[in-house]
Structure 1
Amino acid sequence: MNQLTRDQKIGILAVQETHLTKEHTSRLNHLFCRNMTILNSSLPEGSTNSAGIAFVLNKRVLAWTNLDLIEIIPGRAALLKIERQDLDPLHILNIYAPNAPAENENFWIALNHEWSNNNTLPHVNIMLGDLNLVESEIDRRPPHADSKNAVAALDDFKSKFLLADGWRRTYPNKTLYTFGVGTAGSQSRIDRIYLNPTLLNHSYGWKIQNPAINTDHQLATTTILDPGMPYIGKGRWVMPPSLLCDKQVIDFIQHRGKRLLSDMDQADEGRLRTPTSNPQLLWREFKLDLVSFVRSRTKKLFPILDQKINSLNKALEDLYNDPTTTNDDEKSLQAHIITERIKKLTSKRHSKIRDNVAVKHHLTGETISRTWIQANKEKRPRDTIKALQTPNSSPPALTRDSHKMADIARSHHETLQSQDINTDEHDRNTDISR
């Protein structure tokens, strides 16, 4: 879970079938205290340890002022209340519904009853988890409807908070599944994320993907934007250090660098120095050519595994949504083969990242190095400046445009450089002559 939330930059991960006890949870929180917090709800003592749900909060990307976990139905439904600075509290309901239709129906009726008879329970903003139920035939293969009574009970609970299935709203006609049984077994999209209208309008990047860990469920994810946040780009591009040892990159730098030196020598001698051809522009062109070559080289070398995974995901999606393939058994077999290949490749990528971290720790652990210092440093997300006041605006106005905010900050610091500077020539000469 630590690696999954780190690599995929997941802020809040809802987990079902955790099989965790209080002792296990406490031990995990102590072990990963710098990187994440785990809040678990298990079945009452004496019950079989077959359920359990948990929230995993990633401290690297998520900041909060207070957390509160309310167990609605222990081991089956728990509400997380997250209080964040300058933002409204977020209420997230983690669900692991029973599999049997009658029990599933009673589960949603019980949740409805809890909120109807307890005024202290807050409104649900997000509901997610393993519902063991689909609302439409399109989410099962072979297609068939689930228990009408259970679906109606779920619908009653959803309507209480105006919750909507974000993935289905985004892809109304697409077919993908989060759970399957064997080579020719049934498949279903029982793992879903529901959002209220406000959050749904600010959500994007709805995905169903393999989590690269040992589970028979796929991972459903989405990204929710804070409407008050300024635009934040991808950041400055940096050349991967490992490419400094790549022969093709070294050869390019040598040949292109020699040409640069020759052109600069001629420009310095005055023969080719013009407003459009001078050392400054020659240096700029060299850097642009180098960046272009390194980027193209990076695409060829690094994401080979990622390209294979993306290609297989696309093939799986096309297979499910291909109307010409009518043989369900054949489609199931092909889907199973592709899914297993995706699992192997994602697991390989996951293990490769873990091995690299282990090797790095073995070489630099417990030494005065950046790796060791960072490993023992508490991870905190950066505080983002959400807005700046526009100078000389009347009445005072704020801007959230990141480009304008950068200009305001630059002008402010440039002004500071010239404050309290004595520019009187006589005083300057007097001070110099002392």
Structure 2
Amino acid sequence: MENNSYNVATININTITNPTKLNALHSFLRTLDIDIVFLQEVENEQLSLPGYNVICNVDHAKRGTAIALKEHIQFSNVEKSLDSRLTSLRINNTTLCNIYAPSGTAMRAERERFYNNTLAYYLRHPTEHVILAGDFNCVLRQCDATGSNTSPALQATIQQMQLHDVWVKLCPQVPGYTYVTHNSSSRLDRFYISPSLLNHLRNANTHVCSFTNHKAVTVRICLPHLGREPGRGYWSLRPHLLTTENIDEFKIKWQYWTRQRRNFQSWTEWWLKIAKPKIKSFFRWLSKLAFDDFHREHQRLYNQLRRAYDCYYQNPSMLKTINQLKAQMLVHQRKFTHMFVRNNETYIAGEPMSTFQLGERRKKRTIITKLQTENDNMLERSEDIEQHMLEYFRKMYATDETPNDRDTDFVSNRVIPENDEANNVSMREITTAEILAAIKTSAPKKSPGSDGLPREFYLRTFNVIHRELNLVMNEVLQANFTAEFVDSVIVLVKKKKTD
């Protein structure tokens, strides 16, 4: 089977529920392009991450575990321990097991029972590959902690299953501490893999985070093909870019673009070849500037935070600096998130949406992972689903030269009377006021189409583009346009209450 390279992470998120910290977590996953993430100390059983399927296991103690996989990755055999400290599942022939072991000296006996009984039970079914990850709250080597916190039970389980520590394999000379305080350091968060995956490892890293007191651990590894990830989709203009300053700059650009009309035979041709591409290019450039500014400042703060952590064990006074840098990163994240979210998407009746409501809304963003054909065949591979739908619509929209019995009564030579009132009203010149009224009465938050220009764009820039838009609309009224002008996009939507 074909192997592909995937980014896998494990993060103890320290029971975060704050929206800004959750957004920081999502930014982390997006920036590093994480495909699969193991989460520990999960408090919210409704945890939602855009673009991921999240399998949570949270009990009354609110110290749960979760595994999040990109939406196109299919999984099965989900199992959850009753104490919420373990979640496992399978992807193809690979077992993923995420654990959050009991912590502290007082819980040593319970931790040993957890490794002897709970972990052994959930790894009872052999598969070709195994990835065991999480917060183990103990170490197996003295060099992985500044104190003594070893676990004979975990040592026995790892040896019995012949699992290998990824960090020891790839970075044997680097301490790789993931939990650091002023008087101790430990490599609590880590990955173990089966021998079959040793030759498929690419790299491993640790990352400081603003949203938790643990470092995240990431591993790049080759796994059997998990399905093709959906493309990035069509670009869409974000309304936050429609500021007064940006529209003033857009006006100057628009005046230059309209002068190029003389190079085209019609306004509709100019609209397709110059106006829309230039509008898209201009606002994509503004969006890129905003993202670049965010990531540049975030990277600056991140580098300072990493250096502060490196000094923390030897210099306890660095804790104040660490907390200040985390606060700055979260403030920076909050400003960035607020700028990129529409008010009408985060407010209901004038009140902010709760994290739960946001989670419920995000859950509706699903992709089709299974499709039953007219022959009752079940397609599960993304490539097979795509090919089937292409053939389906190609056949549906193909030219049929055979006369259709339903059309035999259609009178093709029908002539509309010259002075028909309804026809004259519908064919009269479209006014600027009518165009504006149509835009204002259109529904908000609708898909903008392949050009990516939403209703908000036309409302905010109408005073700039109304003359040219009027000329384009009246040319279309006279059937003066090419087939490209009416291009559209068909999107398959998963029906409710279906598998």
Instruction: Please say whether Structure 1 and Structure 2 have the same fold, judged by a TM-score greater than 0.5.
Output: yes
Matches within 5 A, 1:235-384: 235-247=233-245, 249-268=246-265, 280=269, 283-284=272-273, 287-302=276-291, 304-315=293-304, 317=306, 332=315, 336=319, 339-349=322-332, 363-365=347-349, 379-380=363-364, 382-384=366-368
- The residue type paired with residue 190 of structure 1 is L
Preserved contact between residue 178 and residue 188 of structure 1 (Cα < 8 Å): yes
Answer 1 or 2: higher relative contact order, Cα 8 Å, separation at least 6: 2
Is the 8 Å Cα contact of residues 116 and 154 (structure 2) preserved in structure 1? no
Name 1:114's counterpart in structure 2: 117
Whether the 8 Å contact between 2:78 and 2:89 is mirrored in structure 1 is yes
- The one of 76, 79, 90 aligned to 1:68: 79
Q: Would you say the 8 A contact 2:305–2:326 is kept in 1?
A: no
C-alpha separation in 2, matches of 1:299 and 1:399: 36
Does structure 1 retain, via aligned residues, the 8 Å contact 2:86–2:99?
yes
Among candidates 91, 97, 107, match of residue 92 of structure 1: 97
Q: Which residue of 1 aligns with 2:157?
A: 157
User: For residue 64 of structure 2, what is the amino acid of its counterpart?
Assistant: A
| Residue type at the aligned position of 2:189 | D
**Once the 2 structures are TM-superposed, how far is the Cα of residue 310 of structure 1 from its aligned partner?**
1.8
1:15 corresponds to: 40
| 3-state SS of 1:432 partner | coil
Q: Does 1:131 align with 2:142?
A: no
Name structure 1 gaps, 5 residues minimum.
Answer: 19-24, 43-48, 270-277, 322-327, 390-397
Give the Cα–Cα distance (whole angstroms) in 2 for the partners of residues 237 and 152 of structure 1.
Answer: 54
Determine the C-alpha separation between the residues in 1 that align with 2:134 and 2:357: 37
> Can you list the C-alpha shifts for 1:394-419, whole angstroms capped at 9, x where unaligned?
xxxx99796x9757743541222237
Say if 2:46 and 2:356, in contact at 8 Å, map to a contact too. Answer: no
CA distance in 1, matches of 2:349, 2:205: 36
The answer to whether residue 413 in structure 2 is matched with residue 413 in structure 1 is no
Structure 2 segments unaligned to the other structure (5+ residues):
1-15, 30-35, 374-378, 415-499
DSSP-derived class of the 2:213 partner:
coil
> Taking structure 1 as the reference length, what is the TM-score of the superposition?
0.60
CA distance, structure 1, for counterparts of residue 312 and residue 358 of structure 2:
52
| Offset of residue 242 of structure 1 | 0.8
State how far apart, in whole Å, the 1-side matches of 2:122 and 2:297 are: 51
Counterpart of 2:87 in structure 1 is 80
Task: Report the aligned-residue RMSD.
Answer: 5.6
Q: State the shift of 1:243 in Å.
A: 0.7
SS of the residue corresponding to residue 262 of structure 2 reads helix
Q: Which residue identity does 1:418 align to in structure 2?
A: A
Q: CA deviation at 1:312?
A: 3.1
- What TM-score does the superposition give when structure 2 sets the normalisation length? 0.54
Q: For 1:358 and 1:259, locate their aligned partners in 2 and report how far apart those are by CA, in whole Å.
A: 30
Decide whether aligned partners of structure 1 residues 110 and 171 sit closer, same or farther in structure 2, where only a CA change above 3 A counts.
Answer: same
Q: Structure 1 counterpart of 2:231, which letter?
A: G
Partner of 2:178: 178
Post-superposition offset of 1:158: 1.8
